[in-house]
Amino acid sequence: MTVDPRGWTIRQFREAYLSGVGVDEVIGATLAMLAAAPDGVLIGTPLYDRAGEEVESIADVDPASLPLYGIPYIVKDNIDVAGVETTAGCPGFATIAGSDATVVARLRAAGAIVVGKANLDQFATGLVGTRSPFGTPENVLRPELVPGGSSCGSAVAVALGLVPFAIGTDTAGSGRIPAGLNGVVALKPTLGRFSTAGIVPAVRRVDCPSLFARCIDDLAVAASAMSGTDPLDALSRSIVPVRPLRWPPRVGVPQVWPGDLELDDEVGKGFGVAVQRLAHLGAIIVPIDITPALELGEMLYGSALVAERTAAVGESVAGDVEGLDPTVAAIIAGGTGFTAVDAYRGEYRLAELRAACASSWSGVDVVALPTASILATLRAVRADPFGVNRTLGRLTSFVNLADAACVVVPFGDNIPAGLQLIAPAWHDEDLLALGQSYTDESLASAPKSCAIVVVGAHLDGQPLNHQLTDRGAWCRTRTTTSPHYRLHALAGTTPPKPGLRRVGGGEAGASIEVEVWSIGLTEFGSFVAAVPPPLCIGSIELADGSWHKGFLCEPWALDGGLDITDFGGWRAYLSS
């Protein structure tokens, strides 16, 4: 029987593999679909060689052992894939990547298979999806509309069912606007949750990889595999504890729309129905003033912040490389007109507007907005490329500058616009739960999780870490214990494991490197049930004085083990 994976979710891929369908057969069918994809979706041909290499690497692996075993995906072509050209939508900029971007490497480690590079607005500078010499992909819902950008190819590929998920990037709305326009779901994560190492920057301080999928569950699974701090990215961040959202949440919606911002009738109607659905789910609707947020968003293109785009790729623009889009070139070259004084004044204004936006979170948990106020046509963009692009970004550009996370879900009824659900940093999981509730029209239980401290084989990158990530756990932070512990290398364990014990009675202790992971309460139970002796779960004191459940070792098992406390942690011991 011929395999046809078009439109499959990650769950359906996993079910096929567990039933005995071969990964080579599935990926072969996916590559054939991509080869026949409409013009403008991909840059270049499908990645036959790379996909074949990855298929071979997991051919003898148990499909149940990897969370993304054999799952095909594509990446926006400003993201590096080793041995493949990265063009950023500009032929003259193209270079062969020497290594994978960190997010690509993490997905490969989870078993996923990259099968193509997606088209984009050149240098990720645009929200329309038309600023590429490689063509314009057709909007899946309405061909007369723009596909949205800059991650146009990624969104369209998912909407067509060619892959279950795709990676884009988002600085001003580049992940959210094409998701809304093509009727798919998207995650714009908290800044720093996904590494940007190996990604051509746009405005580096507020860039982030973003995710597209056909369902919320697939966003969550892919996000878990991609998350984590990265020494290659100075702007990556450890997850910090945040106050839980009230549940049902208080959802802020504009009390009035600013006078210069009008919603298309269809968008306005769809948004009104969406707000009614949220209220029906139990959300408390709270009127808010979005004027400070809109002013904050205007600064991304209307202040010295534009010079960050010049810092990223200005040399290529100044050198007039082959294939420059004139609109993109004009925007990037415009950054040279600002002075250092302009930059500092801009930073002061940014701080003021961020503070104004932050104060609004005291009364609401989530802000709900359309992805765009208009349904932009291809004809309108040809007539006014700058003005239409600016209008498309009015409701999205502030989100990264405000250090917020966002999930996009379709309005429904094939309306080519999406609903943004926005919350402060590190509420990604809460937003995914609310997005799932909206999609299901049934309020999910409040997301609940607990912390677990890991010290050895369950650390990020170590052999048993998948036992956490398979359960949707994510790393909150890397830290140390209080200086009251000793660490021992246990004898005869496979894979090798350490044992942590707390000291007392005058015995000298030390601070030991650990990671704190967040895991659901139900998942915590199944995880602990699988912990083998002599390891056990007890209470561990961290450097900040807080106590959390984590891995300790029964004292009898330490006889014959090597005291490795002086190394300061398991990773340092292994490196030695």
Residues 429 and 495 in one domain: no
The answer to whether position 3 is within a domain reads no
The answer to whether position 1 is within a domain reads no
DSSP string, 66-106: STTTT-EEEEETTB--TTSEE-TT-GGG-EE-SS--HHHHH
Backbone phi and psi for residue 573, each to the nearest 5 degrees, phi listed first:
-65, -45
The answer to whether position 2 is within a domain reads no
Which H or E run contains 300? helix 291-302
Q: What is the CATH number of the domain that holds 482?
A: 3.10.490.10
Residues 344 and 491 in one domain: no
Q: What is the pLDDT along the chain (576 residues), one digit of tens a residue?
A: 589 999 999 999 999 999 999 999 999 999 999 999 999 999 999 999 999 999 999 999 999 999 999 999 999 999 999 999 999 999 999 999 999 999 999 999 999 999 999 999 999 999 999 999 999 999 999 999 999 999 999 999 999 999 999 999 999 999 999 999 999 999 999 999 999 999 999 999 999 999 999 999 999 999 999 998 999 999 999 877 677 678 889 999 999 998 888 899 999 999 999 999 999 999 999 999 999 999 999 999 889 999 999 999 999 888 889 999 999 999 999 999 999 999 999 999 999 999 999 888 878 999 999 999 999 999 999 999 999 999 999 999 999 999 999 999 999 888 999 999 999 999 999 999 999 999 999 987 766 678 899 999 999 889 999 898 777 677 777 899 999 999 999 988 889 999 999 998 889 999 999 998 888 777 788 889 889 899 999 999 998 888 999 999 998 888 777 999 999 999 999 998
SS (H, E, C) 144-198: CECCCCCCHHHHHHHHCCCCCEEEEEECCCCCHHHHHHHCCEEEECCCCCECCCC
Residues 74 and 182 in one domain: yes
Residues 374 and 459 in one domain: no
For the purposes of burial, counting CB atoms within 10 Å of the CB of 59, is it exposed (0-12), middle (13-18) or buried (19 or more)? exposed
What is residue 47's predicted lDDT score, i.e. its pLDDT? 98
The answer to whether position 371 is within a domain reads yes
The answer to whether position 275 is within a domain reads yes
The answer to whether position 51 is within a domain reads yes
* CB 169 within 8 Å of CB 80: no
SS (H, E, C) 333-388: HHHHHCCHHHHHHHHHHHHHHHHHHHHHHHCCCEEEEECCCCCCEHHHHHHCHHHH
The answer to whether position 255 is within a domain reads yes
Residues 293 and 223 in one domain: yes
Which H or E run contains 454? strand 449-454
Which H or E run contains 486? strand 485-489
What is residue 472's predicted lDDT score, i.e. its pLDDT? 67
Residues 61 and 35 in one domain: yes
Query: Which of 408, 423, 440 lies at the terminal end of a domain, its last residue?
Result: 440
Q: Which amino acid is located at 185 in the chain?
A: V
Residues 389 and 280 in one domain: yes
Backbone phi and psi for residue 518, each to the nearest 5 degrees, phi listed first:
-100, 130
Q: Which amino acid is located at 465 in the chain?
A: N
Q: What is the CATH number of the domain that holds 191?
A: 3.90.1300.10
Query: Which of 396, 416, 440 lies at the terminal end of a domain, its last residue?
Result: 440
The answer to whether position 4 is within a domain reads no
Residues 147 and 164 in one domain: yes
Enter the DSSP assignment of 397: T
Active site residues: 76, 150, 174
Residues 434 and 468 in one domain: no
Q: Which amino acid is located at 210 in the chain?
A: S
Question: For residue 466, what are the domain limits?
Answer: 449-575
Q: How many domains does the chain have?
A: 2
Residues 230 and 149 in one domain: yes
What is residue 413's predicted lDDT score, i.e. its pLDDT? 85
Residues 55 and 74 in one domain: yes
Residues 307 and 399 in one domain: yes
Rg (CA), the chain: 24
Enter the DSSP assignment of 394: T
Query: Which of 408, 440, 472 lies at the terminal end of a domain, its last residue?
Result: 440
